[in-house]
Structures are given as structure tokens and as C-alpha cells.
Amino acid sequence: MLRTQGLVSGYEKVMILHGVDIGIKQGEVVSVIGRNGVGKSTLMKTLTGLIKTSDGKIYLEDKDVTKSKSYERAWKGVGYVPQGHMVFPRLTVEENLMMGENINKVKGKKPDYDLIYEYFPRLKERRTQEAGTMSGGEQAMLSIGRVLTGNMKIMLLDEPSEGVQPNIVEQIGDIILRINKELGVTVLLVEQHIGLIQQVSQRCYAMDKGMIQDSLTRDEILDYDKIKKYLSV
Ligand SMILES: Nc1ncnc2c1ncn2[C@@H]1O[C@H](COP(=O)(O)OP(=O)(O)OP(=O)(O)O)[C@@H](O)[C@H]1O
Ligand SMILES: [Mg+2]
């Protein structure tokens, strides 16, 4: 579904990623873990095209998208849930979803708002509330709801647990798994929240200093001693 080869990228003259190779198969739920500042968000932004690739390749369904614009990747099925949720604070819940619909616009296909509200009843209750006044958990739900308005094949989530209270993190994990199973969406999750990583990941990549240092199986993910060295805990 998504594969990178020797990915190098960064900001101005400072390179942050120094040759990242990852691959996610259709239907998988894979995590990228790593401490603060190792380059996880830089990787996500490079995959979505928000940051230019300086060297290496990105393949989406075996097609080279390294030079594709961000919106083209969105049309091709890349859904992005950015770190910090990034909802439009002065717009209502409903308006935020409509922005998602416009950005991800797919000809002849209307988003299934009933399904989005079924996954997140809280969003339905609060559809006329300004997004900036909602809790961290509600904003995380809205950020995920917003990508569900598109024709998504792979969902890239960057620390959706950030600023979200523990019981809501677990609910978000349940929804990520439902989106994967019921809608057939492949998932790439960047996380540091051990509970969420263990709840959803089939396998994971551990990142440090802009490179993939290790690859962990589901059993290794469940072993706290194995994964804690890659987390800021
Ligand atoms: N816009 C920018 N300009 C210059 N340097 C940046 C920019 N954004 C991030 N960096 C630097 O790139 C490095 C990696 O940052 P990145 O946000 O990818 O880390 P991260 O693994 O996502 O961290 P966190 O867990 O805190 O979200 C850091 O040293 C950071 O200071
Ligand atoms: Mg980050």
C-alpha cells in the first residue's frame, strides 16, 4: 500500500530523516514509535507531501508519488490526522467536516455523514459547537471524522492520543480498529502512548535520530521492557 526507499527530508538545510525504509501492506495496522524529536512528524509530513522529499522514493500502491502534491496524495487515498488534531477552531463540528469534504473531494461520491456520526456520537451531539471549544478527545474525534469524509485507503495518524484523557484514548483505539476492519483502511500510526500502541498495532517500527532502528512484532510490542526504551516514559 505504502512503501518508502531511502527517504531523506528535513527543513531548509537541516536534514532530519536520513534514509527511512518502511513498508505497509494493504489492511495492516502498523505503528512508528520513538522519543520526542526523533523525526516521527517529519516522516508523516514527508509521506503526505507537506515536506518535500530531498532523496529517496515514496510509493503508494506501487506508483511513485515522491513528487506528487499533497492534495493529489489525498485524492489518491492518503488521509492525514495531524499532530495536535489541527481542527479549524472557529468553525463548528459540522463545518469542519464539510471542510474535509471539500479538501478531499471525490467526484460523484458523497461522504457518509451517518457513518461518521455513528463512529463518533459525540460529534453528532456537538455538531453546532465551535471546534476550538471542545475537549482534546473531541478534537481528536473530529480530526479523524474529517478524514473519513474522503475516499481514504490509508490513514496516517500522528499522536492522536495527545491531550486526550485515558478512557477516550481507548475509545479512539476502538474506532481506529473499526475503520481498519469495517472500511478496509490501512493504518500507519505514530504514537508514544503505550496503551494505544499495544491496543492497535500488528507490528511496529522504532525510530531514532531520523532512522528506523528496529522493527518489532506484536509479541515484542506487548513486552513492556522491549518497547519502553523507544518511548519517552
Ligand atoms: N519547521 C521546522 N523547521 C526546522 N526544524 C524543525 C521543524 N519542525 C521540526 N523540526 C525539527 O526536526 C526534528 C524532528 O521533529 P519532529 O517534529 O519530526 O519530531 P517528532 O518525533 O514528531 O517529535 P514529537 O514526539 O515531539 O512530536 C526536531 O529536532 C525539530 O526541532
Ligand atoms: Mg511529532
Report whether residue 11 contacts ligand 1, using a CB cutoff of 6 Å: yes
The preferred substitution site among 20, 31, 38 for testing ligand 1, maximizing ligand atoms within 8 Å of CB, is 38
Task: Please state, in angstroms and as integers, the Cα–Cα distance from residue 180 to each residue in 27, 105, 118, 187, following that order.
Answer: 7, 21, 15, 7
DSSP state of 33: E
Report whether residue 38 contacts ligand 1, using a CB cutoff of 6 Å: yes
Distance of CA 203 to the CA centre of its chain: 15
Report whether residue 82 contacts ligand 1, using a CB cutoff of 6 Å: no
Helix (H, G, I), strand (E, B) or coil at 170: helix
Report whether residue 180 contacts ligand 1, using a CB cutoff of 6 Å: no
Summarised one tens digit per residue, pLDDT across range 52-62 is: 999 999 999 99
Report whether residue 78 contacts ligand 1, using a CB cutoff of 6 Å: no
Nearest atom within ligand 1 for CA of residue 44? 18
Taking 70 as the threshold, does the pLDDT of residue 49 lie above it? yes
Least confident of 64-78, 105-119, 200-214: 105-119
Rounded mean pLDDT, 173-193: 97
Report whether residue 39 contacts ligand 1, using a CB cutoff of 6 Å: yes
What sign has the CA pseudo-torsion 88, 90, 96, 99? Answer: negative
Summarised one tens digit per residue, pLDDT across range 130-158 is: 999 999 999 999 999 999 999 899 999 99
CATH of domain 2-228: 3.40.50.300
Summarised one tens digit per residue, pLDDT across range 4-39 is: 999 999 998 899 999 999 999 999 999 999 999 999
Tell me which residue has cell 478531499: 104
pLDDT given at position 80: 96
- Across the chain, mean pLDDT equals 95
Domain ranges of the chain: 2-228
Confidence of residue 233 (pLDDT cuts 50, 70, 90): low
Summarised one tens digit per residue, pLDDT across range 62-111 is: 999 999 999 999 989 999 999 999 999 999 999 999 999 988 777 777 88
Q: Where is pLDDT greater, at 109 or 209?
A: 209
CB atoms within 5 A of ion ligand 2 belong to 40-41, 83
* Helix intervals (H) in 69-207: 70-75, 93-103, 113-119, 121-125, 136-147, 166-183, 194-200
pLDDT given at position 110: 85
What distance in Å separates the CA atoms of residue 102 and residue 67, rounded to the nearest whole number? 23
